[in-house]
Chains A and B, each alone.
Chain A
Amino acid sequence: MTPDQTIQAKRQAAMAVLVHANTDELARRVATLPAPPHRSIRAPENGLVMVRGRVGGDGAPFNLGEATVSRAAVRLDSGEVGFGYVLGRDGEKARLIALCDALIQSNNHGDALEAGVLSPLREKLLAERERKARQAAATKVDFYTMVRGEG
């Protein structure tokens, strides 16, 4: 992968964790970081995205219905521009995601972000997914359970 593709993949992977975070926890964790001077270039705003599905699950696309989305953008004084997009109407969450996205692009803050924010949130997300999957797995029908019969 080219350096640009690598950094893009890192940003996408980080966003994939951040969008699932609880806003209060995200705010607390980000507050522990030494945040460099930055300013908003897009104040958080709410809007819609049209969600698309596919005919048959894997065929031609169709419009399913809209979902609310918040978005924001921040610019570090050092020049990096971060974007935050997240389902729902939580402008603060979008702003925090944008800030993290900017930090991940900066050489000075990536490690602190990973350790203080991304790593713990990723762990929580995976644990939650695992928990739900285990609950579903318990409802899987086992057609071959052996039952001790009479005689």
Chain B
Amino acid sequence: MALIEELGSGFADKVRSAQSTFRAVMDAMARPGTVQRITAWLDAPPPLTAATAAIALTLFDHDTVIWLDDAFASSPHIAKWLRFHTSAPIASEARYATYALIGDPQGLPDFANFSLGSDEYPDRSTTLILQLETLAKGPALQLTGPGIKDREILRATGLPADLAGRLSQNQKIFPRGVDLILVAGDGVAALPRTTRVTPIEA
């Protein structure tokens, strides 16, 4: 067997890094629209960024099936790195995925391609992790719903233009449907299926 290439390391301090990253994602889900900070540091194989990689190491394990979009799948180091550090199985079909890593959010496939959960187990849907350019500026989205007092404004660069429409369709099949985690720089935000999203004209 050929020698393994240089693999990026995982968390230096596994326990604390996983806990702080989990907390950040959890708070982002609980308070949609807020941007939480990922403070854990690690060497991530590009084009995966450190924050996205931290979320992967925290949430993925032997039981979570992962789907990579073309942007991430075209770089074989990423799959190798994920398998080495998390033992997560990587599927070629998105509909089996527990998590989908999206390196090109503008090319995000239709939600129907992913797992939408079942009526008995709506939680068995795919959680989409979108790696974006920035959560500091860009087209604004208005968010209302559980976890949000009145409304929140979320700005992001790199989201698909029709996202609000897609999320509205997503809400129609509630409690089934997908949830989104948005990562940019060291920030993480989330759009759970319970959040109503409407675009704000510039």
Asked whether the complex places CB atoms of A and B closer than 8 A, the reply is: yes
Which residues of A, 1-60, contact B by the 8 Å Cβ criterion? 4, 8, 41-42, 45
Which residues of B, 1-38, contact A by the 8 Å Cβ criterion? 1, 3-4, 7, 9-10, 14
Known: A42-B84, A45-B14. A80 touches B3 (CB 8 A): yes
Which residues of A, 75-90, contact B by the 8 Å Cβ criterion? 79-81
Closest Cβ of chain B to A145, distance in Å, is 54
Bound form: Cα–Cα A146–B9 in Å? 69
Using Cβ atoms and an 8 Å threshold, which residues of chain B touch A45?
14
Chain B, interface residues (CB within 8 Å), range: under 10
Please tell me the number of chain A residues within 8 Å of chain B, measured between CB atoms. 8
- CB atoms of A81 and B4 under 8 A apart: yes
Bound form: Cα–Cα A51–B84 in Å? 21
Please tell me which one of the listed residues B3, B10, B84 contacts residue A79 in the complex, with CB atoms under 8 A apart: B3
Closest Cβ of chain B to A94, distance in Å, is 15
Please tell me which one of the listed residues B3, B10, B14 contacts residue A81 in the complex, with CB atoms under 8 A apart: B3
Using Cβ atoms and an 8 Å threshold, which residues of chain B touch A4?
1
Bound form: Cα–Cα A42–B1 in Å? 19
Which residues of B, 132-148, contact A by the 8 Å Cβ criterion? none
Closest to A49 in B: B62
Bound form: Cα–Cα A41–B84 in Å? 10
Closest to B14 in A: A45
Bound form: Cα–Cα A18–B1 in Å? 21
- CB atoms of B9 and A41 under 8 A apart: yes
Bound form: Cα–Cα A95–B7 in Å? 18
Bound form: Cα–Cα A80–B1 in Å? 11
Using Cβ atoms and an 8 Å threshold, which residues of chain A touch B9?
41
Closest to B84 in A: A42
Using Cβ atoms and an 8 Å threshold, which residues of chain B touch A41?
7, 9
Using Cβ atoms and an 8 Å threshold, which residues of chain A touch B1?
4, 8
Bound form: Cα–Cα A42–B3 in Å? 16
Using Cβ atoms and an 8 Å threshold, which residues of chain B touch A81?
3-4
Closest to B9 in A: A41
Using Cβ atoms and an 8 Å threshold, which residues of chain A touch B14?
45
Closest Cβ of chain A to B77, distance in Å, is 14
Bound form: Cα–Cα A41–B43 in Å? 12
Using Cβ atoms and an 8 Å threshold, which residues of chain B touch A79?
3
Using Cβ atoms and an 8 Å threshold, which residues of chain B touch A42?
10, 84
Using Cβ atoms and an 8 Å threshold, which residues of chain A touch B4?
81
Closest to B4 in A: A81
Closest to A105 in B: B3
For this complex, 11 residue pairs linking A to B, each with C-beta atoms less than 8 Å apart, are A4-B1, A8-B1, A41-B7, A41-B9, A42-B10, A42-B84, A45-B14, A79-B3, A80-B3, A81-B3, A81-B4
9 further interface pairs, Cβ-Cβ under 8 Å (given A79-B3, A80-B3): A4-B1, A8-B1, A41-B7, A41-B9, A42-B10, A42-B84, A45-B14, A81-B3, A81-B4
Q: Which 9 A-B pairs have the closest CB atoms?
A: A81-B4, A79-B3, A4-B1, A41-B7, A81-B3, A80-B3, A8-B1, A41-B9, A42-B84
